[in-house]
Amino acid sequence: MADSRKVGVLGGGQLGRMLIEAANRLNIQVNVLDAAASPAKQISAHDGHIEGSFKDASSVKKLAQACDVVTVEIEHVDTHMLEEVAGEVAVEPSWKTLRTIKDKYAQKEYLKEHGVDVAESEDLEGKGADGLKAVGERFGYPYMLKSKTEAYDGRGNFVVRSEANIDAAIKALGDRPLYAERWAEFRMELAVMVVKTKDGVLTFPTVETVHEDSICKLTYAPPRNVSKETTQRAQDLAKKAIGAFEGKGVFGVEMFLLKDDTLLVNEIAPRPHNSGHYTIEACPLSQYDAHLRAILDMPIPASALRLREPAIMLNILGGKTPDSHLKVAHKAYESPNASIHLYGKGDARPGRKMGHITVTAPTLSEAEKEIQPLIDFVDDQRG
């Protein structure tokens, strides 16, 4: 037994599942709080799991009582109970960090206060259609309307293209707490996984992310046609942003690289992140290994976060038929350098993250060549 401490995770989705894959290799028991057959629980047979919701205070308390360290794979959790139990069990990252980050507007105000550049934003809570119109006059069109809370995979975003679009925006998001962001004219999107340990802040390499309909589609490590100076600047900015928050673990930092090479932080995730999946095959330590080691105060050599080989990650989303995602996986079997991950989720709604594929190769162009037929196939399966 390498470690007798038990880790509790709020949430049992694919991130929890991949965290358990890493924990299993180290004999670390992970207790998951989520529904019975959640993806993470499927690969972890022991009686320490808790059945319930990570939004439910009593379930969170039950989990905390059964663990030495509590962490999250999703930020939309009950942070009040985490605050309450923080005296008895380690909560990593801090409940304060989770509370700030889970509200995207509060998160961005906090980043600004700490000298991190973000897109200009305006609070629209309670301001109705008039508020949206006034913001359109101030920011111009298009602008991005966003829900402050419960937002992921673009479910919570609406592009307001003109004044004529405001009714549709209200229809789509009107019952949620809203804010607006000025449109970022980005050249590309970059992301950095940051690791916060008891000793300091480390970073994985900078990657390029490609989103379609506000959902991550591809990750390129390293980014295409970006200078070393810029990738270093992105790592420095990510480090600065995460340095402003309390607690240990990995954090995903999404950024916009603007046409004039300026970097803005788009948003932060206080947990493993889609843009870090490539680390499983491409780096000596994955983001999941790093998260466990960080929250358990285990050693993390900085050079273990390096890129061993260029990599491209392609998400497998639910598509036009209920088995589209399985067809993509089958197609990938023919690809010699493709590592296929399926998440064990139930129904495949269009756009739902069902799995991913990572191709690594000695050069990025070789990886691009190998993954292109899979990208074409994914495009063909789109719902």
| Type and span of the H or E element at 32 | strand 30-34
Binding mask 105-134 for ligand ATP (x = CB under 6 A): --------------x---------------
Instruction: Candidates 130-138, 150-158, 225-233, 234-242: pick the segment binding ligand ATP (CB under 6 A).
Output: 150-158
Sole window of 40-48, 77-85, 148-156, 341-349 interacting with ligand ATP (rule: CB under 6 A) = 148-156
* Residue (267 or 281) nearer to Mg ion, CB: 267
Q: Which of residues 162-181 bind ligand ATP (CB under 6 A)?
A: 181
Q: What is the dihedral of CA 38, 41, 42, 43, to 10 degrees?
A: 140
Per CB under 6 A, which of residues 194..253 are in contact with ligand ATP?
Answer: 211, 214
13-52: contacts with ligand ATP (CB under 6 A): none
Q: Does 377 sit near ligand ATP (CB under 6 A)?
A: no
> In the set 152, 201, 366, 368, which binds ligand ATP (CB under 6 A)?
152
Least gap, CB of 373 to ligand ATP (angstroms): 25
Contacting positions for Mg ion (CB under 5 A): 254, 267
Choose from ligand ATP, Mg ion, none: what does 184 bind? Cβ within 5-8 Å by kind: ligand ATP
Q: Give the one residue of 3, 96, 134, 183 binding ligand ATP; rule: CB under 6 A.
A: 183
Characterise 174 by phi-psi region: left (phi > 0), alpha (psi -120 to 50), beta (else).
alpha
Q: CB within 8 A of 368, min separation 6: which ones?
A: 312
49 sits in the region (left: phi over 0; alpha: psi -120 to 50; else beta) called beta
Residue 74 binds to ligand ATP (criterion: CB under 6 A) = no
Q: Residue 47: CA atoms inside 13 Å, Cβ hemisphere, count?
A: 0
Q: Residue 193 and residue 197: Cα distance in Å, rounded?
A: 13
Indicate the helix (H) or strand (E) that contains 280.
helix 279-282
Written as one letter, the residue type at 347 is D
Pairing label, strands 7-10, 30-34: parallel
Selection from Mg ion, ligand ATP, none that 211 binds (CB < 5 to 8 A by kind) is ligand ATP
151 binds ligand ATP (CB under 6 A): yes
Q: Is 16 left (phi over 0), alpha (psi -120 to 50) or beta?
A: alpha
Please give the residue ranges that form the binding site for ligand ATP (CB under 6 A). 119, 144, 146, 151-154, 156-157, 181, 183-184, 189, 211, 214, 254, 266-267
